[in-house]
Amino acid sequence: MEVSDVHDPSPTPDEATGPYRWRWLILAVMIVAEIMDLLDASIVNVAGPDLEKSLGARSVGLQWVIGGYALTLGAGLVLGGRLGDRYGRRRMFLIGLAAFTSSSLLCAAAPNIGSLIAFRLLQGTAGAMLLPQGLGLLRENFSGPELTKVFAIFGPVLGLGGIIGPVLGGFLIEGDFFGLGWRSVFLINLPVGIAALVVAARFVPRKAGDRTVRVDLTGAALVAISCALLVLPLNQGQENGWPLWTWLSMAASAIGFALFALQQRRTAAAGREPLVTPGLLRKPAFTVGLGGIALFFGGLIGAQLVLTLFLQIGRHFTAGEAGLGNLPLAVGTAIGGAVSGAFLADRIGRKVLQIGPLVQLAGAAVLWFELDGLDAATFSIRDIVPGVAVAGIGAGMVIAALFSFVLAAVDDEEIGSASGVLSAVQAVGGSIGVAVFGSVFFARAETGDHTGGFHRALLVQAGLLAVFLAITFLLPKQGRPEDEQHGTTTEPATDSAPKQHLAAT
């Protein structure tokens, strides 16, 4: 039994006699919370020019606004799961949702770019407290075939959230409703968050956590500091000319992660509860898989950002047009995911993870030559649809299968901890991708060579995909069954955001 499955002494009549009658409202609230996160991870991608005009944001500031959210989200996810174990998932969900909604208001009211970055970091931290509770709350209130049905609903809805982020952001900014401009992309969270908070407070049943669970704050601090030491120089290095401190900071980050692994083993050896099950770090396929996830999502999210920047800065698309310009990539990703999930993964196993990046590379090659032949005077999104869509298909093939193959290297009792680590690495990898790809693009864009910046970003993505392709040969040949990934056959100690959240992001 999970430590957080301990009930209050006086359960409600519904809990005492059968399934909780309002459990489907819990699913609705969890979906709303996850979609809010997905929207905020991508909705600001189209806000660059407006932030520049309104707050004087430079390229580094924009990278922090986008990547800073993912940084604090990833750094805090595993800690958020452990806090849910100790203090109860309902309590941590409500605190996280209230903080997320409040920080969205702060972002909308930010008077300058520095304040906006600080509030985005706070928003990511709130998301880290909020998101890990979702899977545990669903598992506490659904079981058997119903739980399978829940995840069948959960995945596609979250996938839609990832697709509509830039589109909705572009619509809100271009509509300039009430003269709010970019601020509306954060204000949209207020009515949604408040409604979700009211419903969750009323209908999510109270279940006590286990106060005997100790939260490893030392480990959490090591992770947060190491992540910051890595992302800070990546964001600032290009603008500052890569001084010595940037290289020292990245070296210190590597040392910090090594110290974290050592500290986790010593914590477990001393009989205390670590953030991460130490056995995971001794599994080569899992640790290699973590690197693959960081590489893949860093390249994917970074390339998505560069596409949007190219359309807005290089080709002077409006926010709405740039949002719609992301649709070929989103549709391609949906097609690739459907083909992989329905037909390929079970039939050809690990090979789907090798075909996917090859298709992505083919799409990048097509896009390269499409960019070479562009006429700036007559350019439209149709000119690059084939390359972008093919790249999206390849990405979708990988996304649909990647996590199941990494989790196949994990023992059943380690699934919860492993899922939390995967969530964190995916988010931090995205933050690093924003920093690296943003720096690569702006290095050429600042000289007026926007196509050259896009070309360089494609080269970086090709390199990451090549390394990812090599890594796939070290993963298990078959993925973990879907029910085991979601914990319906085991009771892990720590839950985290579901796999579909990762994929949709």
Dump pLDDT digits (tens) for 234-244.
888 877 888 99
Mean pLDDT on 405-409: 84
Mean pLDDT on 42-54: 83
Band of residue 25 on the pLDDT scale cut at 50, 70, 90:
confident
CA distance 389 to 330: 8
Around 307, how many Cα atoms within 13 Å sit in the side-chain half-sphere? 30
Ranges 129-133, 136-140, 146-150, most confident:
129-133
- Whether residue 455 is predicted with pLDDT greater than 90 in this model: the reply is yes
> What would the 3-class secondary structure string for 57-105 be?
CCHHHHHHHHHHHHHHHHHHHHHHHHHHHHHCHHHHHHHHHHHHHHHHH
Ranges 2-6, 49-53, 66-70, most confident:
66-70
Amino acid at 92: M
CA distance 302 to 57: 19
Band of residue 307 on the pLDDT scale cut at 50, 70, 90:
very high
| pLDDT value at residue 4 | 39
Band of residue 186 on the pLDDT scale cut at 50, 70, 90:
very high
Amino acid at 357: P
| pLDDT value at residue 411 | 82
Mean pLDDT on 352-371: 94
Number of other CB atoms surrounding residue 52 within 10 Å: 16
- Whether residue 96 is predicted with pLDDT greater than 90 in this model: the reply is yes
CA distance 108 to 181: 10
* In contact, 440 and 460? CB cutoff 8 Å: yes
Mean pLDDT on 359-377: 88
Percent of the chain topping pLDDT 90: 34
Mean pLDDT on 485-491: 48
| pLDDT value at residue 440 | 92
Per the prediction, the chain carries an average pLDDT of 83
CA distance 15 to 172: 43
The domains located in the chain, with CATH, are 3-504 (1.20.1250.20)
**Mind listing the pLDDT tens digit for each residue in 376-399?**
778 888 889 999 999 999 998 898
Which whole-number Å values give the CA distances from 88 to 23, 173, 195, 401, 479, in the listed order?
17, 38, 21, 32, 32
Nearest residue to 440 via CA among 427, 458, 425: 458
| pLDDT value at residue 1 | 35
- Whether residue 47 is predicted with pLDDT greater than 90 in this model: the reply is no
Q: Angle at which helices 113-130 and 23-42 pack, to 10 degrees?
A: 150
Residue predicted with more confidence, 20 or 173:
173
Mean pLDDT on 294-308: 92
- Whether residue 13 is predicted with pLDDT greater than 80 in this model: the reply is no
| pLDDT value at residue 136 | 74
The angle subtended at Cα 330 by Cα 326 and Cα 334, nearest 5°, is: 170
Rounded to the nearest 5 percent, the helix, strand and coil shares of the chain are: 80, 0, 20
Residue with tokens 């979700």: 196
| pLDDT value at residue 496 | 43
CA distance 150 to 147: 5
Band of residue 477 on the pLDDT scale cut at 50, 70, 90:
confident
Mean pLDDT on 125-138: 85
Which two structure tokens, joined as six digits, stand for 30?
């969890």
| pLDDT value at residue 29 | 87
| pLDDT value at residue 160 | 60
CA distance 277 to 90: 24
Band of residue 5 on the pLDDT scale cut at 50, 70, 90:
very low
Q: What is the pTM of this model?
A: 0.83
Mean pLDDT on 90-111: 94
- Whether residue 198 is predicted with pLDDT greater than 60 in this model: the reply is yes
